[in-house]
Chain A
Amino acid sequence: MQRNDKSDSTVHYVREVSTEMSTVQFAEALAKLAGPGDVLALDGDLGAGKTRFAQAFAAAIGVEGIVNSPTYTIIKEYEGTVFPFYHMDVYRLSLEEADELGLDEYFHGNGVTLVEWASLIEPILPPDRLHLFIETTGPESRKITCRPVGSKYESWCRQFISQPNEKEEPTA
């Protein structure tokens, strides 16, 4: 099994959002930066809104129609405006199974990949990726902790979490 060798980044960026709409706006902001070969590693408890985040992200890169849960099918592929969107949920997989599935072809493919429950397969995630951990803090409010691995994602985080006040922005 090939494993990524970069150790944990220690820099965490925290974004607090108070409504579902502001989670959506955050996903849209990330989508503006994303391109082929980018990997978002999403974690958070059941019901935290991982799939909701993925839906907003997909819509922002131009995926038309319904983006629903990939839990059962593991991987769903969609066409975006410019590049495809690969939506994964690895909850059902062991590390070995995930490795055998050849996820690398997606990670290094022509699209952007979003992996739900990514921490389960962290050793085989690509060396550069952006971890997002969503925590439920209220019915709609969430705390999103971003952990960038690699300089590209560090710069993403600095771009949109540089604001001293992380409350929602007035516009999308």
Chain B
Amino acid sequence: MNEQRDTSADSPKGDYVLLAIETSCDETSVAVVRNGREILSNVISSQIETHKQFGGVVPEIASRKHVESITIILEEALREANTSLEDIDAVAVTQGPGLIGALLVGVVAAKSVALALDVPLIGTHHIAGHIYANHLIGDIVYPAIALVVSGGHTEIVLLESEGKFRIIGRTRDDAVGEAYDKVARALQFPYPGGPYVDKLAQEATEEVVLPRSWLEPDSYDFSFSGLKSAVLSEINRSRMKGESPDFSALARGFQQSVIDVVTGKAIKAAKEFGARQMLLCGGVAANRGLRERLSSLCEEMGLPLLIPPNKLCTDNAAMIAAAADLKWRRGQFSSLDLKAEPILSLEDWSV
């Protein structure tokens, strides 16, 4: 729906090829991207393995698994891109935030390649990657508001100009994806159950109306733990009365509450900061209910909206290349003593 591809090179340095590596959490991913926008390959571990399962990916948390996959996936990415290492002009890698053991694998691999090829290294912020995944599918107009919704993050980020990040709201407890997965547990779905809740909510005919957590009137922060508790107490109440809880009506009530608050705050931010574009990103951007509501709200106010396709919403290395491109074009490179940072400030990573 928002697919408009612009592969024109806007690099002052002409054509260049970036190798990008992402290992911040569950996924091992390597991409080859030309000029920061044209994906030549984007290989993601869970998508090439045979145990791809319905409803979610098998978590690949242990560092050892990243170690086992990284070389294979790197070779696969080069092969798919029909590129050899000699063609690589720079190496980008997720520096943080993430799980230290997982990040380290990518960082060590990236440094080794950069050193061996004698090309620049670009340490990249994971959330900047999610946001700039949108630059792989369209042009970003500033100021823009990015709504980042994923398993580990829920943030509203203001981009006053290209590569300048300001977090104006974040979750105080669960990320949206976590809230979905926890409610899914309460509704007895296997982990990760977010997609099941989305599906159940879409199919529901009834809705148990649950509270909205707006917090202070001027706050763009989020809190979902109260909503999670509300779902649990509804389940308990039904059981105490000897009834079986209506899971689909609860899923619907939960989804409606989350979507109201998340989209409500994003739209309010867009108005307050005079945004000329809305960017939706992160793994939960795959949620149908959320996509549909945000699309219609943006349409109402004539605000252009970009949503990357699912493959670019979940963790992947092409998005890391898209964010690293900001630094490449400004010649802002990392030194080889770059450290993986489990906590890394998005605002400080600004260009």
* A interface residues (Cβ-Cβ under 8 A, vs B): 46-47, 51-52, 55, 66, 68-69, 71-78, 91-93, 96-97, 100-102, 139
Q: What are 10 inter-chain pairs, A to B, with CB distance below 8 A?
A: A46-B228, A47-B228, A47-B232, A51-B174, A73-B25, A73-B152, A78-B343, A92-B59, A92-B191, A101-B63
A73 to chain B, nearest CB (A): 5
- The contact string, 1 if C-beta is below 8 Å from chain A, for chain B 96-126, is 0111110000000000000000000000000
Please report the C-alpha to C-alpha distance between residue A77 and residue B152 in the assembled complex, in whole angstroms.
Answer: 14
B129 to chain A, nearest CB (A): 15
Please report the C-alpha to C-alpha distance between residue A70 and residue B174 in the assembled complex, in whole angstroms.
Answer: 8
Q: Given the interface contacts A66-B172, A100-B63, does A75 sit within 8 Å of B99 by beta carbon?
A: yes
A87 to chain B, nearest CB (A): 11
A56 to chain B, nearest CB (A): 12
- Give every chain B residue within 8 A of A93 (Cβ-Cβ): 61
- Would you list which residues of chain B between 178 and 205 have a CB under 8 Å from chain A? 178, 181-182, 185-186, 191
Q: Given the interface contacts A66-B170, A92-B61, A97-B62, does A46 sit within 8 Å of B233 by beta carbon?
A: no
* B interface residues (Cβ-Cβ under 8 A, vs A): 25, 59, 61-64, 97-101, 150-152, 170-175, 177-178, 181-182, 185-186, 191, 221, 225, 228-229, 232-233, 342-343
Please report the C-alpha to C-alpha distance between residue A68 and residue B150 in the assembled complex, in whole angstroms.
Answer: 14
Which of B151, B186, B232 lies in contact with A72, CB distance below 8 A? Answer: B151
Find out whether the CB atom of B181 lies under 8 angstroms from the CB atom of A71: yes
- Give every chain B residue within 8 A of A73 (Cβ-Cβ): 25, 97-99, 152
Please report the C-alpha to C-alpha distance between residue A46 and residue B182 in the assembled complex, in whole angstroms.
Answer: 7
Chain B, residue nearest A89 (CB): B178
Chain B, residue nearest A103 (CB): B101
Main secondary structure of the interface of A (DSSP, over half): loop
Which of A47, A52, A91, A102 lies in contact with B101, CB distance below 8 A? Answer: A102
Find out whether the CB atom of A77 lies under 8 angstroms from the CB atom of B178: no
Which of B182, B221, B225, B233 lies in contact with A52, CB distance below 8 A? Answer: B225
- Give every chain B residue within 8 A of A69 (Cβ-Cβ): 171, 173-175, 178, 225
Which of A74, A75, A139 lies in contact with B233, CB distance below 8 A? Answer: A139
Please report the C-alpha to C-alpha distance between residue A51 and residue B182 in the assembled complex, in whole angstroms.
Answer: 13
Chain B, residue nearest A65 (CB): B170
Which of A72, A91, A102 lies in contact with B175, CB distance below 8 A? Answer: A72
Find out whether the CB atom of B178 lies under 8 angstroms from the CB atom of A71: yes
Find out whether the CB atom of A75 lies under 8 angstroms from the CB atom of B100: yes
A26 to chain B, nearest CB (A): 18
Which of B64, B150, B181 lies in contact with A100, CB distance below 8 A? Answer: B64
Please report the C-alpha to C-alpha distance between residue A51 and residue B175 in the assembled complex, in whole angstroms.
Answer: 12
A116 to chain B, nearest CB (A): 12
A119 to chain B, nearest CB (A): 16
Which of A71, A77, A96 lies in contact with B343, CB distance below 8 A? Answer: A77
Please report the C-alpha to C-alpha distance between residue A74 and residue B59 in the assembled complex, in whole angstroms.
Answer: 12
- Give every chain B residue within 8 A of A97 (Cβ-Cβ): 61-62
- Give every chain B residue within 8 A of A96 (Cβ-Cβ): 62
Please report the C-alpha to C-alpha distance between residue A101 and residue B151 in the assembled complex, in whole angstroms.
Answer: 20
Chain B, residue nearest A101 (CB): B101
Please report the C-alpha to C-alpha distance between residue A91 and residue B178 in the assembled complex, in whole angstroms.
Answer: 12
Chain A, residue nearest B343 (CB): A77
- Give every chain B residue within 8 A of A74 (Cβ-Cβ): 61, 99
Please report the C-alpha to C-alpha distance between residue A91 and residue B181 in the assembled complex, in whole angstroms.
Answer: 11
Which of A55, A66, A72, A91 lies in contact with B152, CB distance below 8 A? Answer: A72
- Give every chain B residue within 8 A of A68 (Cβ-Cβ): 170-175
Q: Given the interface contacts A73-B152, A76-B342, does A46 sit within 8 Å of B178 by beta carbon?
A: no
